[in-house]
Structure 1
Amino acid sequence: MDLDLVNRDPNSINNHVQVAFEDVLAEPEDVRSMNCVWKFTYKCFTLWKQLCYNIATFCCGLCIAMNWGCIFAETAFYHIWYITPYLKWLEINCEPMRKLFRMCLSCCLDPVCESIGTVFHACKKGDSV
């Protein structure tokens, strides 16, 4: 799979990060700066935002990516080698207890529920119990 250098957020996981000029700065109708100031503000904001972001990603991006890679590798390792097999082990070992619990419930509750059902069924028909 090739890396898409155009669409860098294909799953839209960072839609909440709105840092475009229009998302951060806005002037209402009745309070306006001069057009030249507004244009220069736009250029300064965009330039410094991109420059600072590039410097931060250059200095820290690789280290942070390595850290997250290790964390997700560890997470995958634990799930593959510990958690999933442990859950399967629990499922296998709990099945006899589940069967025993079902048998006890059916032995104790089935007669009670059937009796109550018979009583209500008789009441519905208008018969005497």
Structure 2
Amino acid sequence: MADSLDLVNRDPNNINNHLQCSFEDVLAEPEGTHSIDCVWKLSYSCFNFWKGCCYKLSTILCGICIAAEWGCEFAGVSFYHIWFFTPCFKMLDLNCGCMKKMYNQCVSCCVEPCCMACGQLFHNFKK
């Protein structure tokens, strides 16, 4: 966990790079189809104002509650992994280790001699 919160770079792991939505990413006028300059400038200002205003209002109204819910969800996931899944995997490793040892002994005793005999038989064939 970081000691301090970076208020400048809020996506240090670039997990939301797909959300590039600046004015230039959304609205564009091709060559030969231009609005009046003042309309384009006001559109730019309005877009950025309302995008920022609506986003900030949404985060004020919902962001803290949603963050709390996700915190609880990930706490639950961590709880299940720490107290259930990891011990289950350890138990499977232990039990499967016994089965693996028994299987290896059976293969060594039963299958390996047959394979060695076949190998010796074909070993003498020359081209």
Normalised TM-score (structure 1): 0.88
* Structure 1 letter corresponding to 2:76: E
Q: From the superposition, tell whether residues 59 and 115 of structure 1 become closer, same or farther in structure 2 (CA, over 3 Å).
A: same
**CA displacement at 1:33 relative to structure 2:** 1.5
Normalised TM-score (structure 2): 0.90
1:36-85 deviation line (CA, Å, top 9, x unaligned): 11111110100000000000000000100000000001111111111111
Aligned residues: CA RMSD: 1.4
Query: Which moves more between the two structures, 96-105 or 3-12?
Result: 96-105
Question: What is aligned with 2:116?
Answer: 114
Q: From the superposition, tell whether residues 110 and 59 of structure 1 become closer, same or farther in structure 2 (CA, over 3 Å).
A: same
- Residue 14 of structure 1, aligned match among 13, 16, 19: 16
Question: What is aligned with 1:30?
Answer: 32
Partner SS for 1:16: helix
Partner SS for 2:31: coil
Question: What is aligned with 2:89?
Answer: 87
Q: Distance in 1 between matches of 2:28 and 2:114?
A: 71
**CA displacement at 1:111 relative to structure 2:** 2.5
Query: Which moves more between the two structures, 57-66 or 111-120?
Result: 111-120
- Residue 99 of structure 1, aligned match among 93, 101, 114: 101
- Residue 44 of structure 2, aligned match among 42, 45, 48: 42
Number of residues of Structure 1 aligned to a counterpart in Structure 2: 125
* Structure 2 letter corresponding to 1:107: C
Partner SS for 2:46: helix
Structure with larger RCO (C-alpha < 8 A, sep 6+) = 2
* Structure 2 letter corresponding to 1:97: M
Which residues of structure 1 form unaligned runs of 5+? Answer: none
Q: Distance in 1 between matches of 2:122 and 2:56?
A: 75
* Structure 2 letter corresponding to 1:49: K
Work out the percentage of aligned pairs sharing the same amino acid.
Answer: 55
Equivalent residues in 2 for 1:61-72, closer than 5 Å: 61-72=63-74
* Structure 1 letter corresponding to 2:52: Q
